[in-house]
Amino acid sequence: MAQDTTFTEEQAAPERAVEHDVDDPRRAKRFLFLRNGKALTGLGILLFFGILAVVGPWIAPYDPNQVSADLLQPPSWSHWLGTDHTGRDILSQIVVGTRGVLVVGLIAGVSATVLGVIVGVTAGFIGGMGDETLSALSNVFLVIPQLPLIIIIAGQLPTAGGVTVALVIGITGWAWGARVMRAQTLSLRKRDFVEAARANGERTWRLVLAEVLPNLTAIIAAGFVGTVTFAVMSQVTLAFIGITPVSDWNWGTILFWAQNNLALQRGAWWWFVPAGLCIALLGMALTLVNFGIDEFVNPRLRSTGMNARLLRRRRIRPRIGFTPVLRTPPDGRPDVGTTARTTRKERS
């Protein structure tokens, strides 16, 4: 029986770089997230909406509150997305309203992520009574229904705008992320590299910042994306049902006016379809970024992503549970197989 010559990715890197024009494996791992098609698509859509949120008020063709004689007109050269029942330009409303949606998502995501990291990492690292107290606090906030609470607070505050909604979401939406951080920190604090740093006399804050937090980066990013998604959907929902001021333009406000003026019954599809597509595109972008983060964190999915070019050349379609392993066929050139067991069987 011939000797099994299964290669790791590092061992086969020189041959693979020559035969398949693949970069250094360490560099490939470093930029793997940016090479992910899902992540790139999601980041591209987010970048578009981000630029639109920054420059929207300056590039909008009309004032979103400006009425005209073109009442409920379909898309035309003068109004690319048509007008509403008072002659206001729909495109201008969407462009100007993008900022409100993204600001709410960003503020809520940052505040909830910061609180979740502080509480979760602290509870998992210090242990003891402090861990029990912070865990009990997390459990209390975990059972608080966020959307009804936001509706009650926004209803009691007549001037409650997007920032108020974002802060309420951030204050009440950190508990789940804190639980995840605590569980991961409990696993990391007993690892050899943390124990070695502790034995060398490193301070606690240094252990947390230099040893624990870098290993939680991907989980923190995934939690941030999830919170932003929930915040955006909550803002649109509250605007659609009229809880937040309808004078503040966002995509939910457009749907509010369309629903109250029977746009669907009138056949004015241009009044609600563009805003709905923007909400769907933003949600899809955040979901794709979340998928990209998951494929970057999961070792099995990451291995598939690093060998995506080889898999495509062999017409192999990756699937859940599929782990590519580099092996050396009889001609001595590195290739991709499914498992080392398959390689050993072929050598027999």
Higher pLDDT, 316 or 54: 54
pLDDT for residue 8 is more than 70: no
pLDDT for residue 20 is more than 50: no
Q: Report percent pLDDT > 70 for the chain.
A: 75
Q: What is residue 316's predicted lDDT score, i.e. its pLDDT?
A: 66
> Could you tell me the domains of the chain?
83-297 (1.10.3720.10)
pLDDT for residue 187 is more than 50: yes
**pLDDT tens-digit map of 192-209:** 888 888 888 888 888 888
Report residue 329's pLDDT band, with 50, 70 and 90 as the boundaries.
Answer: low
Q: Report percent pLDDT > 90 for the chain.
A: 32
Q: What is residue 318's predicted lDDT score, i.e. its pLDDT?
A: 60
Q: What is residue 84's predicted lDDT score, i.e. its pLDDT?
A: 92
Planar angle of CA 142, 173, 95, nearest 5 degrees = 155
| Mean pLDDT for all residues in the chain | 79
**pLDDT tens-digit map of 123-163:** 988 888 888 999 899 988 888 887 888 788 777 776 667 78
pLDDT for residue 230 is more than 60: yes
pTM for the model stands at 0.76
Q: What is residue 300's predicted lDDT score, i.e. its pLDDT?
A: 59
Higher pLDDT, 127 or 67: 67
Q: What is residue 6's predicted lDDT score, i.e. its pLDDT?
A: 43
Report residue 272's pLDDT band, with 50, 70 and 90 as the boundaries.
Answer: very high
Q: What is the mean pLDDT of residues 274-302?
A: 83
